[in-house]
């Protein structure tokens, strides 16, 4: 792994959030390419970073923070998906907390369906977790059994309940 350096100043949102505890790294060592990494230790439950961004139309770069609201921000774009996430995104609190104890060099990942109902750019998951969901398209396409394994934001819980009430059953194959 390369030495952890702060994210490059040429990135357009580089002045939005500076951190001596996080780094954006593109060292070829991750299946994701560019990754957000811890530069220091974080204890489980500890605040990792704020969700700083601008309201934006839903895109592959945004995080859904409410039923109809998405944010586009600097560091969020580098938080990769994992079916064994190292952090949780708390959309209402506009923050990210460590899901596990993190040490320097650990990647900050989250479970995308915890915030996303229907993703703009679905993809095949390559995380390698024992219970990998295989294809990441949003919570709408997962069974309630799978969703129960993860921290899921209130807006996704609400959309899941609404789909159930309207007979739009979620994929119940776990």
Reported as a single tens digit per residue, the pLDDT across 142-152 is 999 999 999 99
The tokens describing 73, both together, are 């921000």
Q: How many residues does the chain have?
A: 174
DSSP class of residue 164 equals: H
Reported as a single tens digit per residue, the pLDDT across 109-155 is 999 999 999 999 999 999 999 999 999 999 999 999 999 999 999 99
Which of 154, 59, 52 is closest to 94 using CA atoms?
52
Place of tokens 């938080």: 79
Edge-first strand order for the sheet with 63-64 is 54-56, 70-72, 63-64
């Amino acid at each position: 792994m390369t030495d952890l350096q702060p994210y490059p100043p040429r990135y357009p949102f580089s002045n939005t959030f500076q951190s001596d505890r996080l780094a954006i790294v593109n060292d070829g060592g991750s299946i994701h390419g560019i990754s957000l990494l811890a530069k220091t230790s974080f204890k489980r439950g500890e605040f990792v970073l704020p969700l700083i961004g601008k309201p934006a139309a839903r895109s592959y770069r945004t995080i859904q923070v409410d039923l109809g609201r998405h944010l586009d921000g600097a560091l969020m774009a580098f938080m990769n998906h994992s079916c064994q996430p190292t952090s949780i995104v708390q959309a209402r609190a506009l923050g990210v907390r460590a899901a596990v104890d993190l040490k320097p060099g650990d990647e900050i990942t989250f479970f995308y369906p915890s915030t996303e109902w229907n993703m703009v750019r679905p993809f095949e998951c390559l995380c390698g977790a024992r219970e990998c969901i295989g294809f990441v398209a949003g919570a709408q396409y997962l069974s309630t059994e799978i969703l129960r394994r993860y921290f899921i934001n209130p807006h996704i819980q609400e959309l899941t309940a609404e789909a159930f009430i309207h007979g739009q059953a979620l994929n119940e194959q776990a």
